[in-house]
Structure 1
Amino acid sequence: MYHPSSGRRILLLGAGRVAQHLGPALWRAGHTVTHVWSRTLASAQAVAAQVPGALPISSLDLQSLPAADLYILCVPDGAVPAVLAEAAFPAGALVVHTAGALPLAVFAPYPALRGGVLYPLQTFSPGRLIEWLSVPICVEAGTAADQDLVAEVARSLSQVVEIVATPQRQAIHVAAVFACNFTNHLLGIGHALVQEAGLPFTLLEPLIRETVQKALAQPPFTVQTGPAVRQDTATLDRHRELLLGHPQWRQIYNELTASIQAT
């Protein structure tokens, strides 16, 4: 892993899942996380407690933020504009967000700021260890110098750092929703259905692993299996009958079947 010759002074704004993982990772990479801000002091304290030397700040502290080399917004996408509008960053501060869908242009109303993006392409959950070395990080900034600085920080965390402009990053984010969020929801439906049948979810684990491994080894559309791609109408009808008690899941089944058959 790349390590900067001298760590940066970084202030985190937000105390959610991204901040909970990113704060300790930045410290391990040799940076100084000076402060963690959150609207509630307890949330800021919880994250700061995981980062040696970090101080928690909240509420009115947003109006007098301490100096830092980099400010990282780890708040929900919808909260970024509000935080930018409320926060009193030092003039010329370099501020980046961690969102996949937000454009770099979100910083346009604030010409006194230097805007950028540090988007880790990963799902973050409490209690899960993240192997940052392999996490792709998409970087973007308004100037080449700022882009280099953000990329430097990103490379201290990961070996997979790419300069990605807003349109491509937004496309990646949509793809990630399909590959991660929607897939997890479908696994949740599968989990519920086997539980209703009085069977353990572990029965599906080998199938799930092989499906993912196959999709990573070859273009997923080329290895599609199942009754939809076989045009097995009898089996499809039986499944629809079994799903009568779950009309929403039945609708998903029908839409995915149609999508598979049309692809």
Structure 2
Amino acid sequence: MTVSIIGAGNLAWHLVNVFEEHDLRVAEVYSRKKKNAESITGYLYDVNIKSDLDFSNSPSKLFILAVSDDAIAEVAKALILPNDSILVHTSGGKAMDVLNFAKYQNPSLTIGVFYPLMTFSKGIKVDFKQVPLCLEAENDVSLALLRKLAMSISDKVDNIDSEQRAILHVAAVFSCNFTNHMWALGKEIADDASLDFEMLKPLITETFKKAMKAEHPANVQTGPAVRDDFSTIEKHRNIIKEDEELLSVYDSLTKSIQDWYQ
């Protein structure tokens, strides 16, 4: 299968790598800035670096739109693709039909979604076999093609429609993005007191391991909020009271935990 990737960010870097590892040809990579595309394709053989969105002479059947959510509609409107192409985006938060904008110039186009449920950073490889791939397409033929591609790189492939995917994306933000932000706040609190964040890492690791093993993460919740340890909670509040924003986060999370276990 020959694919073209539109975008040169974190996810595009990972897709280029995993496709190359599985002998899936990447014919083209598009980026408005040529150097960005070159930075993720330097080792690929015979890849075409594009800085325009005219793919009318492309050898690819599948075009993967790996750009930011806010750019999807704008880029889709400008695409010129070969007849009977398949265009997918990789967003968890956008519905499939945002790609309908591409049909104004490409009436024979089929659209879909190829969403990897994972956090990606350029240069840090992940085991794609363990990455859940959430698929959607507007017809069975295109879905079968996406499924074949997905199963060649991952052991975790599911058909997930736009409504389900939006809910999954919210859950992912709580499970990943918000959690990481809590670690960042923890580091700031430690740093302000000249304490080493390394001391907290074994605790973070053990918390993660217990949550993964538990039937429900709520079953292994610990801490002063779940114990209704009001004296400790008040001591914590006094320590961070000068930072109103941080105190607000602490109070909100404490209340959420207490309400859960009432």
**TM-score range relative to shorter protein:** over 0.9
Which residue pairs with 2:243 in the alignment?
A: 246
Aligned with 1:26 (options 19, 24, 28): 19
Which residue pairs with 1:83 in the alignment?
A: 75
CA contact (8 A) 2:11 2:122 kept: no
CA contact (8 A) 1:48 1:55 kept: no
Aligned with 1:113 (options 109, 112, 115): 109
Is 1:230 the counterpart of 2:221 in the alignment?
A: no
Cα deviation code 1:184-234 (max 9, x no counterpart): 000001111112221211111111111111111111112111111111111
Which residue pairs with 1:139 in the alignment?
A: 135
How many angstroms does 1:64 deviate by? Answer: 4.1
- 1:62-211 to 2 correspondences below 5 Å: 62-65=53-56, 66-109=58-101, 110=103, 111-211=107-207
What RMSD over aligned residues (CA atoms) do the two structures have, in Å?
A: 1.2
Q: Residue 225 and residue 36 in structure 1: after superposition, are their counterparts in 2 closer, same or farther (change >3 A)?
A: same
How many angstroms does 1:63 deviate by? Answer: 2.8
Consecutive unaligned residues in structure 2, runs of 5 or more: none
CA contact (8 A) 2:96 2:112 kept: yes
Which residue pairs with 1:51 in the alignment?
A: 44
Which residue pairs with 1:262 in the alignment?
A: 259
Is 1:214 the counterpart of 2:210 in the alignment?
A: yes
Cα deviation code 1:71-119 (max 9, x no counterpart): 0001001101001101111232100111111111112342432001111
Cα deviation code 1:5-40 (max 9, x no counterpart): xxx110000000000111111111111100100111
AA of the residue aligned to 1:95: L
How many angstroms does 1:246 deviate by? Answer: 2.0
**Runs of 4+ that moved beyond 6 A:** none
AA of the residue aligned to 1:49: G
AA of the residue aligned to 2:91: A
Q: Residue 164 and residue 190 in structure 1: after superposition, are their counterparts in 2 closer, same or farther (change >3 A)?
A: same
CA distance in 1, matches of 2:46, 2:120: 23
AA of the residue aligned to 1:14: G
Q: Residue 174 and residue 57 in structure 1: after superposition, are their counterparts in 2 closer, same or farther (change >3 A)?
A: same
Which residue pairs with 2:30 in the alignment?
A: 37
CA contact (8 A) 2:96 2:162 kept: yes
CA contact (8 A) 2:27 2:59 kept: no
AA of the residue aligned to 2:22: A
User: Could you state the TM-score of these two structures normalised by the residue count of structure 1?
Assistant: 0.93
Query: Between the two proteins, what is the percent identity of the paired residues?
Result: 37
CA contact (8 A) 1:45 1:55 kept: no
User: Could you state the TM-score of these two structures normalised by the residue count of structure 2?
Assistant: 0.93
Is 1:14 the counterpart of 2:7 in the alignment?
A: yes
CA distance in 2, matches of 1:244, 1:205: 25
Cα deviation code 1:145-197 (max 9, x no counterpart): 10010111111111111111111111111111111100000000111111222
CA distance in 1, matches of 2:139, 2:84: 13
